[in-house]
């Protein structure tokens, strides 16, 4: 069997000192997470994060920088995730958008409210990513290169 991590994207979205999180149903119960999800075939990472934010929150998101590239595994028996975490701005909202299955609500929470919800975070990366954002971690989007359908003869 070939080992490979799940490739995911996430967005740290801050507005007036509050961060956009989703409240979602998971196998471990109801949890809080950044808008996030899996990279789909044929997508760039930036396209994936735009899509995931819109599907999970109804907000149109424009990535402006990379906060972190994170490799995470809950324990040795669990799957590994390679997560690219973006920051950026929301450019509009569709309040009537039906959110993805499993998304119960969206919330704008302060860093302290996120820390207080620690037992209900989807992973430790939620708070780690907010803290890295607050520490000023920003890397240019040009760091990410996509070579989809680039033939080499």
**β-bridge partners, 85:** 10, 68
Q: What is the pLDDT of residues 116-148, one digit of tens each?
A: 999 999 999 999 999 999 999 999 999 999 998
Burial grade of 107 (CB within 10 A; 0-12, 13-18, 19 or more): middle
Low-confidence ranges of the chain (pLDDT < 50): none
DSSP state of 5: P
**Domain spans, the chain:** 6-143
Would you say 112 and 130 are in contact if contact means Cβ atoms under 8 Å apart? Answer: no
How far from 95 is each of 51, 101, 127, 131, CA to CA, in Å? Answer: 16, 16, 26, 28
When the candidates are 3.10.20.90, 3.20.20.140, 3.90.79.10, 3.90.25.10, the CATH number that belongs to 6-143 is: 3.90.79.10
């Amino acid at each position: 069997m070939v080992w490979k991590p799940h490739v995911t994207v996430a967005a740290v979205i801050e507005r007036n000192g509050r961060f956009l999180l989703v409240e979602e149903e998971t196998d471990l119960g109801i949890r809080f997470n950044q808008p996030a999800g899996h990279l789909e075939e044929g997508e760039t990472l930036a396209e994936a994060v735009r899509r995931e934010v819109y599907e999970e929150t109804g907000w149109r998101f424009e990535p402006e920088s990379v906060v972190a590239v994170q490799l995470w595994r809950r324990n040795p028996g669990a799957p590994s995730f390679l997560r690219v975490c973006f920051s950026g701005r929301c450019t509009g909202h569709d309040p009537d958008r039906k959110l993805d299955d499993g998304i119960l609500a969206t919330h704008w929470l302060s860093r302290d409210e996120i820390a207080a919800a620690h037992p209900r975070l989807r992973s430790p990366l939620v708070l780690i990513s907010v803290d890295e954002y607050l520490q000023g971690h920003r890397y240019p989007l040009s760091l990410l290169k996509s070579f989809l359908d680039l033939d080499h003869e």
